[in-house]
Amino acid sequence: MVDWPEPGTPVKIVVKTWSGEDSHEGLALPAAGPNLVTLKLVNGYNISFPESYILSIELLEEVQMVEEEVPEIIPQDESLPLVYLIHTGGTIASKVDYKTGAVTARFEPNELLDAVPELRSIARIRAVKLGNMWSDDIRPRHWNKMLESTAQAFAEGAVGVVITHGTDTLHYSAAAMSYGWAGQGGRPPGRIVLSGSQRSPDRGSSDAAENLIAAVHWAANGPEPSGYRDSSVVILHADSSDGKCAVLPGCATRKYHSSRRDAFKSINQDALAYVLVDRSGPSIEMCEAEVSDARVEAIAPKLFDENVRIAEFVAGAHLQPDLVQAAADAGYDAMYFHGTGLGHLPIENPENDSPENLKLRLTIEDYCNSGGIAVITTQTIHGPIHLDVYSKGRDQQEIGIIGHGSLCPPSSGLVKLHHLLSRDGGRETVSSGWLEDLCGENPDDSRH
């Protein structure tokens, strides 16, 4: 085993290679893998060799590393509107570090303006780094940090905010911004945009630059938010080709494709607008839609109770009553069921061969009778929850399951449930609030 020095120690190593002996100088690093030695070369690149390749190791007093150039400060036009860029993670505001091969956040205004110079003519950019997270690691506490950061940005004079976010759960955070700012009848002081990218910026097919240009343009120049459907918006590519980004309601949007650039669609309603990006610069094309009177500006967003816990279940052949009972025994604040079709659960036993179905029904009924909150949504994404069509749906209503009549998308519904529980946690609040159209998530079906 090679006696490798502490990380940061200046060293010179001699290694054997297929072309003969070679030497390298740099700083010792922690091993990149088992039975490897790893060195940061003087030019900043990392290199690793199997321990068996090492012929000698010499400790040095110092090595002269190549210093990274400090980028020149890029001046910004003070006459342009101020837009805050809040970075949570994802590839839209990132760069590939070819010294390490890692994708790192590019969240300094200087780096953004250098990478996407088109932003210089759209807005003044200030940037805040909340984190650099995989979007599937985001929790309600992070929604609150986003809400607080948007409030701070508006207090400091921003006309709009762009939250850069990984795409996998971007629609959950967009819904959280909508309910947080407009769920109680208000509207945010400025425009809130969530955007991400499906392709990393080092790929020729990357959508990062166009999505960012469109997002900043809407944040700087879009219509004032009314608080209905537009309290937060999602902006990403509308098509697989370049030149057009969709502006989607944050309360009713869903990621529907794992890899396409146009991965997001609005659910049970239309897009709000499109941002066209071409050589002449970005422009906004509004869609025809009803005009809602602007609500009163909210003083502050309603934060989510971070102690709330919701148990999620998917209806299907493996939904077992003991899973539901375990959640009830563990004291979860609510249960959220992704039902089949119009919102159904496996609670009947017509062939007398599936007693677990009847036990599931009794388990949910006992839970609701004891004051528990059970809400049903649909796995189909589009369409309403309609529990009056079949007898099973009517039975579910009788045992206390909430959800009939809702058009709220499944992901937005989970956030809405958490928002309602954060008000007072009562069953009556959830039951009545579920039928309300708090911020555009549950529109009249005749209009959409």
Task: Enumerate the active-site residues.
Answer: 91, 167-168, 255
Asked if 48 and 38 touch (Cβ cutoff 8 Å), the reply is yes
Contacts of 76 (CB under 8 A, 6+ apart): 109, 113, 120, 124, 125
Residue 171: name the closest of 129, 261, 84, 233 by CA. Answer: 233
User: What's the rounded Cα separation, in Å, for the pair 181 and 419?
Assistant: 11
Asked if 307 and 287 touch (Cβ cutoff 8 Å), the reply is no
In angstroms, what CA-CA distances link 118 with 85, 129, 210, 279?
A: 15, 21, 10, 10
Q: Is the dihedral of CA 441, 302, 403, 338 positive or negative?
A: positive
Helix axes 170-182, 140-155, angle to 10 degrees: 60
In angstroms, what is the C-alpha Rg of the chain? 27
Percentages of the chain per state (helix, strand, coil), in multiples of 5: 25, 25, 50
Residue 42: name the closest of 61, 17, 62 by CA. Answer: 62
User: What's the rounded Cα separation, in Å, for the pair 2 and 411?
Assistant: 52
User: What's the rounded Cα separation, in Å, for the pair 210 and 100?
Assistant: 26
Query: Three-state DSSP class for 310?
Result: strand
Query: Three-state DSSP class for 119?
Result: helix
Helices in 31-124 by DSSP H: which ranges?
109-115
Asked if 120 and 81 touch (Cβ cutoff 8 Å), the reply is no
User: What's the rounded Cα separation, in Å, for the pair 184 and 157?
Assistant: 24
According to DSSP, the β-strands at 82-87 and 160-164 are parallel
Polymer length of the chain: 448
> Between vectors from CA 186 to CA 184 and to CA 189, what angle results, nearest 5°?
140
